[in-house]
Each structure stands twice: as C-alpha cells, then as structure tokens.
Amino acid sequence: MAQTSISQPVTGSSATYSTRSYLRDGLLIVSAALMAVTLYMVFMWVPTEQNLGVSQRIFYFHVPLGWIGMLSIVVVAVASLMHLITGKEKWDSLAYATAELGVIFATLILVTGAIWARPVWGVWWTWDAKLTTTLVLWFIYVGYLMIRAYGPSGTQGKRYASVIALIGAIDSPIIYKATDWWRTAHPERNVPSDLASEMLLTLLVAVVTFTVLYAYLLVERYSLRKSESDLDELHQRTA
Amino acid sequence: MNFIKELRRGLGLRASTVIVLVALVLTVSTLLTTVGAFDGQPQTAPSTIPEPSEHANDPEANLPFLFAVYMITWGAFFAYIFYLSRRQREMQGEIDALKRALDQREQAEAQSQSES
Amino acid sequence: MNFDDTETTDLTISPLPDVSDSDDGSVIAHRGKLLIALVVLVGALGYFAFMAFEGATVYYYTVGEMNDIGQTPEGKMVRVSGKLVPETFLRGDGSTLAEFSLTDGSESLIANHIGVLPDLFFNDHSEIILEGSYGSDGVFQSENVIVKCPSKYIALDEEQELG
C-alpha cells in the first residue's frame, strides 16, 4: 500500500483559517460598527416619510439586501467560470460560498418586500416584472446549490451548476432594469429621484454596511469551504 | 432531510430543541405582530367621500411591519452564523480524528519497519 | 495499543455533507431530489419566459389604453392604472361596494371594488392599479387593488411646514 506521508501539517493550505486572521476580524469589527451606525440612523435619525410612515424605513434594509442579492449571483457566475478555466479549487470554494450567501439575501429581499408590500401596496405579492425576476433569481440560487449537492459529482456537476449561475448573472441586470423596461408595481426609479438628503445618506450607509457584512460572511464561509475541500482531499488520500 | 439529521447528530437533542424553540418564538411573534396589525381595520369603510380610515394619518400605524422585517433579517443572519460555527466545529472534529488516524498509521509503519 | 496488519487504516469518520458524495447510499432518492430541483428550476424559468413573451408583459394599461381596448374578454383579467378622482369616491353606508373614477390626466374610467381598500388608496400621491375586468356596461370591476407609491420620499416635517 502506498505510503501517504503527509509532509504538510493537516491544516495545510487552510492556513487562511487560522484564528489570527486580521481580515476576518477586521471585517467583523467594521461591519458591527457600521451596523450600529446604520441602526441609529434608520431608527433614530432619519425623518419619517410623509406618505408611507414608519414602514418606509424598511427601504433601508430592503434596497441593500436587493443589491447584494443581485451582485452575489454575478460573483457566483464569474467564480464558477474561473474554476472551469483554471481548475483551481479556490474558485469553486468561492462560488459555493457566495451561492449560499446569495440564497439568504434573495430570501430576505423577497420576504422583506412582501412584508412591506402588505400595508403599502395592499397585497403580499403580485406578478409584476420585478418580483417575478427576483423570484427567478431565488430559484436560480436554490437550483445551483441543489445541483451541487445532489447532481453528478465532479466536473460535470460543476458545469451544470455554472450554467445555472450564468443564467442568474443574466437575470441580475434584468431585475435591476425591470422598473425601467416594464410597467411594474414598484416605483419607476429603484432609488426615488426626489429624496431628502438624510434619507439618501442613510441609504448609502446602509448599503455600505450590508456590503461589509456580506464580505465578512463571505470570507468566513469561503475559508471554511476551502478547509472542507482540503479535508475531503485528505480523506481520499488516506483512505 | 440530511441537514436536520446532521444538526441533531452534531448538536445533540437538547441544543437542537433550544434552537427550534427560539426559531419558533421568533417566527410566531413576527407573525402575530404582523397579523395583529390588521385588527381594528374596519370591515366596511365609512361612507363619506373620500374619508380614509383612521389609520391613514398615523405615521406609526405600520410599525409592526417594520418590526417584522427587522426581526427576520437579523434572525436570518444569526441563523446563518450559527450554521457556520456548527460546520466549523464539525470540521475541527474531523481534523482531530484524521490526525489521530494518521498518528496511528505512522506508528504502525514505524513498528513494522523496526520489526523487519 | 493493538494494530492490525491490514493495509489500510480503518477510518471510522463519516464524510462531511456537500463536499463528498451523499451518504444516503440510495441512488433513487438522490436522483429524485435532483429531478425535483430541476423541475422547479425549469418551471421557474419557463414562467419567466412565458411572462416575457406573451402579452402579459404589459403589467397594466393606462386609462386611455383601457378605454381604447374596451371590454375584457370573458374570464380574462387585466390591470388598469390611474389616479383616483377624489370627488367621485362613493361608498354606501355599511356597504362593501365602492365606486370611484380613475384618470390618467386626460381620460377617465369608472370602477367598482368590493372590500376594504388600503389606506394609501386615498393618498393624493398614489397611483392606483386595479386588477379585474372591464365590463360591457363601461364599468371596470376590480377584484384586487394595488397601490403604487410615488417615486419620491418626502420627509414628514417638510410637509407640515408646507401645509
């Protein structure tokens, strides 16, 4: 039986998962600080909107969640492609981690949207272009993860998953432009054109905050995923 | 589903019960406040023109919905962070087991070499 | 310690989820889940394509367009959008039926709705979307009301200063 002498320590290339990771700690602290600022601005500082009342403050969660949901699938698509081109495992880990996060953000935008719609629009849901395309994006995220979990293992499964991610990457700008291209129940502009300056500032801070939070969660999940991949490889070598 | 099985196995019954209970409390309280926002809505609208219902001028009328959004968003992120830490723990366990197995094998090989 | 003289070390560790193959062992359950996933995905994409290419891309018609189109065919639902003409709103005492007019600035249309109307329905800035059918009697029977918010947010204080 071949001797598999492990010359590297078991942790090997998952050294990025060392507890002394300044990037991860830094991101966590920054996102926590930003979140504190955002919460203060959203709940204490920004004025109440005249027509929608306090429910309008959902805007400061709903919009950032949406933008990140749209961004995430593009990252998945690019990372999947990079993996197929270079064959490097780290791209695959990035794709998978981003897809997992993407499901969360996509779910949240649909749920927060529905909760906001009920008192304001009068309905929980409607099949307009924006909501439909966002729902499609949700299905794409879920489909991607299911194929990774239950589809053929190895490169073939990853290829199928990449195709789905690519469809998602096409869907993403469609969601963004949906209110421009079609008549929808959403206001025409994704961010209202006429916006009190405090509201705009709060929105920007919220977007930055959620992006940093996303980056933090992504780095955590990515490192974890890479380590899991390494471990799996070790399993196979020592079996 | 596999995930639930893994969760049970990884955490033990007590911790899983606690988590399910917490999730349940969050969900139920959110649902109750959201649905509760509809109490007091008139079944028939007043007849004069154009009289909005008494809620219309109250900017805080839809506060329960804002609360629900906030709860769900945070709930989702904390659930995900919890999921990450669980996987981390599992992985650490695997690494330890692997290390032990490798040590065993190396010792076995060293032994068989010294014997030959 | 007791070591077997076997060639492979007995690693009694279960594989991690997702990274390795499914540990179920049942190929049929495996395939079944994949099939469901694919069906769901294809279904979703199919709906999207259907939405994009059928006339359903028109989420709503304006009042003018609705008047041009005229009566809605039996069993079909359409949406019309316009602004409420406040003076035209009528609801009988204790009645669930409301009658009102919508306008797009130049033309107008009469509509009926049964049931509660959302608060923002009566707001000056809102655009109303009605889901229903345009009857032969020239009245739009509305089943659902969706209030479309204006594309601007105004702080409460400002309005009080103006008003």
Specify whether C72 is located in the same domain as C139.
yes
Report if residue C74 sits inside a domain.
Answer: yes
Report yes or no on C158 lying in a domain. no
C15 and C91 in a single domain? The answer is no
pLDDT for B12: 55
**A153 Cα to chain C: minimum distance (Å):** 7
The domain that contains C139 carries what CATH number?
2.40.50.140
C143 membership: H or E segment, kind and range: strand C139-148
- Decide which of A106 and A8 is more confident: A106
Range of the domain at C26: 9-57
Say how far apart CA A113 and CA C97 lie, in whole Å: 29
How far is the C-alpha of C101 from the C-alpha of C38, rounded, in Å? 46
Q: Where in C14-122 does DSSP place strands (E)?
A: 61-62, 78-84, 90-91, 97-103, 108-114
What is the spatial distance between Cα C65 and Cα C54, in angstroms, rounded to a whole number? Answer: 18
Residue C1 inside a domain? The answer is: no
Q: Is the same domain home to C67 and C143?
A: yes
- What length is written for chain A? 239
- At a CB cut-off of 8 Å and minimum separation 6, what does C47 contact? A132, A136
pLDDT > 70? residue B25: no
Q: Is the pLDDT of residue A143 over 60?
A: yes
- Which of helix, strand or coil describes residue C123? coil
pLDDT averaged over 10-residue windows placed end to end, chain C, 163 residues: 43 44 54 70 69 65 89 87 90 85 91 88 89 90 90 70 45
Looking at residue C160, its pLDDT comes to: 52
Residue A157: pLDDT band with limits 50, 70, 90: confident
Q: Are residues C141 and C63 part of one domain?
A: yes
Question: Quick one: pLDDT band at residue A153, thresholds 50, 70, 90?
Answer: confident
CA dist A213 and A207 (Å) reads 10
Domain shared by C52 and C67, yes or no: no
In chain B, where the domains are located: 2-115
In a domain, C143, yes or no: yes
- pTM of the full predicted structure? 0.76
Q: How many domains does chain C have?
A: 2
Mark whether C74 and C42 lie in a shared domain.
Answer: no
Question: Do both C142 and C70 map to the same domain?
Answer: yes
| Angle (deg, nearest 10), helices A155-181 and A129-150 | 170
Residue C8 backbone phi and psi in degrees, to 5? -110, 145
Q: Are residues C78 and C140 in the same domain?
A: yes
Q: Taking CB atoms and an 8 Å cutoff, what residues of chain A touch B54?
A: none
Token pair recorded at residue A31: 């996102």
Rg value, chain C, Cα? 29
Residue C161 located in a structural domain: no
- Residues of chain C in contact with residue A126, where contact means CB-CB under 8 angstroms, are 146
Q: Tally Cβ neighbours within 10 Å of residue B75.
A: 16
CB pairs under 8 A between A and B: 86
Of the partner residues C5, C11, C90, the one whose CB lies closest to the CB of residue B101: C11
Same domain, C144 and C85: yes
Nearest CA in chain B to C9: B105
Q: C122-151 pLDDT, tens per residue?
A: 888 889 999 999 988 889 999 999 999 887
CB A224 within 8 A of CB C18: no
Residue C163 within any structural domain of the chain: no
The ipTM assigned to this model is 0.78
The reply to whether C138 falls in a domain is yes
Disruptive mutation site among A120, A189, A232 for chain C (greatest number of C CBs within 10 Å) = A120
CA–CA separation, C144 and C124 (whole Å): 20
Domain boundaries, chain A: 59-189
What is the pLDDT at residue B30? 64
B21 or B54, higher pLDDT: B21
Is the pLDDT at B17 greater than 60, yes or no? Answer: yes
Q: Are residues C122 and C110 in the same domain?
A: yes
